Amino acid sequence: MTSSLEAGRQYPDGRLVPPVAPMDAARLAAEAAQVTATTRLLAVAVLLALATALVWWLVGFPLGKALLDGASPWTRGFSYEFPDLVRLLALAVTVVLTGAVAGSASPQTRWLAIAAVALGAAVLFAERGVGDTVAVVLLVLGAAAMTETEGAAQAVAAAAIAVLVAFAATGDLALGTSQKVFAVLLRALFFYAPLLLGPAYLDRFVVARTGRGK
């Protein structure tokens, strides 16, 4: 776009460059803030996916494999193949997006906005079965709940919600009762709890590194 400083100059064909008023500073600042918020959301989501992947596949998954004697449903359900990594990234984006929406929406539109995110996530994961669909809806509600608490209360709420989400997500696994209890607890502790608790800490990390606020 041409600035007022370019007025009076000529194009190569001899035509004068028309003067253009400077862009509104407030609009520029608002656009920059929007880009910053979007960039931060994506950065936090990627970091959340990486952190959860490390916790799960370095601790949770091998621990479950050992406790469940290498049960094939466990290995097939929670392996670290490429589709599982993509799914984790999608869950991380969903959690971070839910927190951003819940934190910025007005009281009148808060639940409508959360419901819209939950519906979109349910459609995205519908092909994986009823259990995963219910689990991702519960995860969205849990991510919204994380914006309402902090400290010890947040950790307790995250643990309880993580168990509910894990229960729904592991319902289709062909495991015995005791094995399924282990599966739910391990999945809750080493997968869903980090997903729920991670955004607040990682957002502060990103802000500290970039020096930019919301």
Q: Taking residues 200-212, report their average pLDDT.
A: 67
Measured CA to CA, the distance from residue 203 to residue 207 in angstroms comes to: 6
Q: Strand, helix or coil at 134?
A: helix
How confident is the model over 78-93, as pLDDT tens digits? 777 788 889 999 999 9
Measured CA to CA, the distance from residue 172 to residue 180 in angstroms comes to: 10
Q: Show the CA angle centred on residue 35, arms to residues 32 and 41, nearest 5°.
A: 140
Measured CA to CA, the distance from residue 64 to residue 43 in angstroms comes to: 30
Measured CA to CA, the distance from residue 98 to residue 135 in angstroms comes to: 15
User: CA 49 → CA 7, 91, 167, 173, distances in Å?
Assistant: 50, 8, 21, 23
The residue that leads in pLDDT, 105 or 32, is 105
What pLDDT does residue 209 have? 61
Spatial CA neighbour of 48 closest among 114, 3, 94: 94
pLDDT classification of 184: cutoffs 50, 70, 90 = very high
Q: List the single range of 58-72, 97-111, 183-197 with lowest mean pLDDT.
A: 58-72
Q: List the single range of 35-44, 47-56, 105-114, 163-172 with lowest mean pLDDT.
A: 35-44
What pLDDT does residue 14 have? 63
Measured CA to CA, the distance from residue 202 to residue 198 in angstroms comes to: 6
CA 189 to mean position of chain CA atoms: 17
Q: Show the CA angle centred on residue 146, arms to residues 140 and 147, nearest 5°.
A: 105
What pLDDT does residue 27 have? 62
Work out the mean pLDDT of the chain and round it to a whole number: 81
pLDDT classification of 1: cutoffs 50, 70, 90 = very low
Q: Strand, helix or coil at 68?
A: coil
Going by the DSSP 8-state scheme, the letter that residue 6 receives in this structure is G
What pLDDT does residue 129 have? 78
What pLDDT does residue 201 have? 83
Token pair 């028309």 in the structure block, residue: 18
The residue that leads in pLDDT, 172 or 194, is 194
